[in-house]
Amino acid sequence: MKKYIIAILSVIIVGCSSNSYQPPCTELDSDNLTSLYFPIALGNKWSYDVVRYDGDTKVNEDYELELCAVDTIYYVKDGKRIPFEAYRACKEDQQNWNFYFVKCSDGAHLLTINDWYYKELKSGWVIPNSPNEGDKVSNMDGYVWRGQDVITVPSGEYQVWILEEIRELNRKEMKMYRDHRIDGNKTVRRRYYFAEGVGLIKTEEYGAPGVLTSVMEMDNFNLKDTRGGRAK
């Protein structure tokens, strides 16, 4: 289960091209900012049903994600470490992830850090408040916004924006996948579905030739503040 969830949420950490990322929101007043497609507030929680298809075998699992704590992390500018606060993502009550979220003028920023000791910002990308069909994701490789749709998951029916990922895995990622290479080679194909005011409600992963190998669907959520917000 752990390896599968790491693969599903690699939208957060893989494909980033920057080694020193500075989110623009670190210098902005957050009172009037809104994160539409990934609501940010301490205690926000999402739970998901996961189905994996291993040949003729169907495996059902579940998964929970929570913005569980506020940490001070740092970005480096002109040789100086500049602090700002961000929300840490935890899975199933475990607080050992290096995934962070902050709200900025253009949407929700997903961030990673180099290590737990220095907590220096490594990379990040944006889930925008106003996606446009055909737009590529800045600082990521192989991610494109594919437009809108209406879909149904266990928690209800939602109008969503679709983010599609089609790219080649790097060596580090290949080690993570080990014996279950997507498409039987280095190609990864995934779709992510984001609903306004709710967040990520579904992911799909495909093997060759276009066979669905796994799906994750939101079955419940608890959002304390759908406007989002940088930690204060």
Structural domain includes residue 152: yes
Q: What is the per-residue pLDDT for 159?
A: 94
Range of the domain at 14: 2-222
CATH assignment of the domain containing 17? 2.40.360
Question: In terms of Cα–Cα distance, which of 36, 40, 49 is closest to 8?
Answer: 49
Token pair listed for 111: 């961030």
Other C-beta atoms lying within 10 Å of the C-beta of residue 124 = 26
Which stretches of the chain score pLDDT less than 70? Answer: 1-20, 24, 27-31, 92-97, 169-186, 208-209, 225-232
Enter the pTM of the model. 0.84
Question: In terms of Cα–Cα distance, which of 120, 163, 166, 128 is closest to 38?
Answer: 128
Token pair listed for 46: 């999402």
Structural domain includes residue 172: yes
pLDDT tens digits for 44-66? 999 999 998 877 788 999 989 99
Structural domain includes residue 230: no
Q: What is the per-residue pLDDT for 4?
A: 46
Alpha-carbon distances of 198 from 93, 165, 221, rounded to whole Å: 21, 21, 8
Structural domain includes residue 96: yes
In the chain, how many domains are there?
Answer: 1
pLDDT tens digits for 184-204? 556 778 899 999 999 999 999
